[in-house]
Amino acid sequence: MTPDHPPARPAPAPDPTADQATKDAMSNATTVSPAHSASTASTLITNIAVLVTNDPSLGDGSPLGLVHDAAVAIEGDRVVWTGDHSKAPATDNRVDAGGRAVLPGFVDSHSHLVFAGDRTQEFNARMSGRPYSAGGIRTTVAATRAASDGELQANVTRYLAEALRQGTTTFETKSGYGLTVEDEARALRIAAAHTDEVTYLGAHIVPPDFADDPAGYVALVTGEMLDACAPHARWIDVFCEQGAFDGDQARAILTAGKARGLHPRIHANQLSHGPGVQLAVELDAASADHCTHLTDADVDALAHSRTVATLLPGAEFSTRAAWPDARRLLDAGVTVALSTDCNPGSSFTSSMPFCVALAVRDMGMTPDEAVWSATAGGAAALRRTDVGRLTPGARADLVLLDAPSHVHLAYRPGVPLVSGVWRRGERVV
């Protein structure tokens, strides 16, 4: 099935610094089958009803590059061949997909997993229409500061394992619930032990201990805290919103991060119109996340930039807020990613399939667009070319569905369709 309104842009072209062997393999996607070494076992997954490659030069020519009656060959941690199963190369091992669908592992490019505590009462009150005066993010900050390293690590590993069982093979996670130099640095150390996509979010909110001195907190975030956190992170983020950080503060924080080698991403335009999206484009942020309240100028700026609009439907589901208009963004030519925003307050889900279903039902996306955004789109939001696709040279991250088509992710919402997961070439589910 091809998209009614396909994503206007595919994932970014391979980084010119990528090694030549990988680029050569990509350019010969349907014909190259490198000989495997004696020390590296190869595996063929065959009898695939529909294979999502995310390469429009393959299969049906759609953005998903759908190949029917397909097979995928894996060697080590890489894909080495994709195509018609009747032309598959010989391999050491063979897995029969049983006429089911295979797609790239989901790329969750926005989550907040280093936390402690519980906000069930807050959610229950919100869903019951009752006022609730607890502290929101501040409640989680207090619990996180009080937790031991072991407790925080147990939470991270629990939710990463939960996401992996649902097909997520690439994870980004942030700090942001410590808001002291020591607590932000330890959050990032814990995160970095489990994923290579780690984001410094000291600028989540102004903590209570700096309530009367927000400028002093910005100085801390851009000074001593940044010094302690930069070695453990790849990205820097800021919540640019009324009640959090304004445009000038956000620019200062992201600029300081760039000077230390961290690349910007930004929580932008979630609760109201604001400067976040324009700032993201100005600073070449990898992504502007949420993007719920946009002007035409915001949409146009995104469409003419490398900045990905990352939509987080779990947040709208859990807060009954207005849905982002994915259709508007896609029709304008904006690259769109989907992510869970997994956090204890506003989107306590680790399920990318659930977010795909929400995006189709409530944000105007077709099933094909939603699957692309949850895989290749997430990779684009992380400036990655080795994940989110299944072509030679890509990392061997695959999801086997207990369904004949990827469309079932939206067609059968809430059903545990993921029946197998390979990460870096190893079957992990």
Q: How confident is the model at residue 138 (pLDDT cuts 50, 70, 90)?
A: confident
CA 208, distance to chain mean position in Å, is 30
Tell me how far apart the alpha carbons of residues 66 and 55 are, in angstroms, rounded to a whole number.
Answer: 8
Q: What is the mean predicted confidence (pLDDT) over 339-364? A: 97
pLDDT at 20 (0 to 100): 36
Residues in CB range of 304: below 8 A, 6 or more apart = none
Q: What is the mean predicted confidence (pLDDT) over 107-115? A: 97
Mean pLDDT for the chain?
90
Q: How confident is the model at residue 122 (pLDDT cuts 50, 70, 90)?
A: confident
Half-sphere exposure of 51 (CA within 13 A, CB side): 28
User: What percent of the chain stands above pLDDT 70?
Assistant: 90
Q: What is the mean predicted confidence (pLDDT) over 227-242? A: 97
pLDDT at 15 (0 to 100): 39
pLDDT at 136 (0 to 100): 84
| pLDDT at 1 exceeding the cut of 80 | no
pLDDT at 132 (0 to 100): 56
Q: Maximum CA pair distance of the chain?
A: 69
Q: How confident is the model at residue 7 (pLDDT cuts 50, 70, 90)?
A: very low
pLDDT at 125 (0 to 100): 87
pLDDT at 135 (0 to 100): 60
- β-pairing, 398-401 vs 93-104, is antiparallel
Tell me how far apart the alpha carbons of residues 268 and 216 are, in angstroms, rounded to a whole number.
Answer: 23
pLDDT digits (tens, 9 = 90+) for 263-276: 999 999 999 999 99
pLDDT at 30 (0 to 100): 33
**By C-alpha distance, which of 183, 336, 203, 338 is closest to 262?**
203
Tell me how far apart the alpha carbons of residues 395 and 47 are, in angstroms, rounded to a whole number.
Answer: 21
Q: Which two tokens stand for residue 392?
A: 């030679």
Q: What is the mean predicted confidence (pLDDT) over 319-345? A: 96
pLDDT at 357 (0 to 100): 98
* pLDDT greater at residue 12 or residue 355: 355
Classify each residue of 205-236 as buried b or exposed e, where b means 16 or more C-beta atoms within 10 Å of its C-beta: bbbeebeeeeeebbebbbeebbebbbebbbbb
Least confident stretch, 99-103, 130-134, 216-220, 287-291: 130-134
pLDDT at 25 (0 to 100): 34
pLDDT at 29 (0 to 100): 33
pLDDT at 40 (0 to 100): 77
| pLDDT at 156 exceeding the cut of 50 | yes
pLDDT digits (tens, 9 = 90+) for 38-52: 347 899 999 999 999
Q: How confident is the model at residue 121 (pLDDT cuts 50, 70, 90)?
A: confident
The backbone region for 135, taken as left when phi is positive above 0, alpha when psi lies in -120 to 50, beta otherwise, is alpha
| pLDDT at 347 exceeding the cut of 90 | yes
Residues in CB range of 315: below 8 A, 6 or more apart = 270, 290, 321, 341, 346, 347
Q: What is the mean predicted confidence (pLDDT) over 168-190? A: 98
Can you give the chain as a three-state secondary structure string? CCCCCCCCCCCCCCCCCCCHHHHHHHHCCCCCCCCCCCCCCEEEEEEEEEECCCCCCCCCCCCCCCEEEEEEEEECCEEEEEEEHHHCCCCCEEEEEEEEEEEECEEECCECCCCCCCCHHHHHHHHHCCCCCCCCHHHHHHHHHHCCHHHHHHHHHHHHHHHHHCCEEEEEEECCCCCCHHHHHHHHHHHHCCCCEEEEEEECCCCHHHCCCHHHHHHHHHCHHHHHHHHHCCEEEEEECCCCECHHHHHHHHHHHHHCCCEECEEECCCCCCCHHHHHHHCCCCEEEECCCCCHHHHHHHHCCCCEEEECHHHHHHHCCCCCCHHHHHHHCCCEEECCCEECCCECCCCHHHHHHHHHHHCCCCHHHHHHHHHHHHHHHCCCCCCCCCCCCCECCEEEECCCCCCHHHHCCCCCCEEEEEECCEECC
Q: What is the mean predicted confidence (pLDDT) over 396-423? A: 98
Q: Which two tokens stand for residue 75?
A: 């060697």
| pLDDT at 98 exceeding the cut of 90 | yes
Q: Which two tokens stand for residue 28?
A: 């010969």
First to last CA, the chain: 27
| pLDDT at 26 exceeding the cut of 60 | no
pLDDT at 405 (0 to 100): 98
- Cβ 358 vs Cβ 312: under 8 Å: no
pLDDT at 4 (0 to 100): 36
The backbone region for 94, taken as left when phi is positive above 0, alpha when psi lies in -120 to 50, beta otherwise, is beta
Q: What is the mean predicted confidence (pLDDT) over 140-155? A: 96
Which residues are bridge partners to 44 per DSSP? 73, 94
Q: What is the mean predicted confidence (pLDDT) over 145-150? A: 97
pTM: 0.89
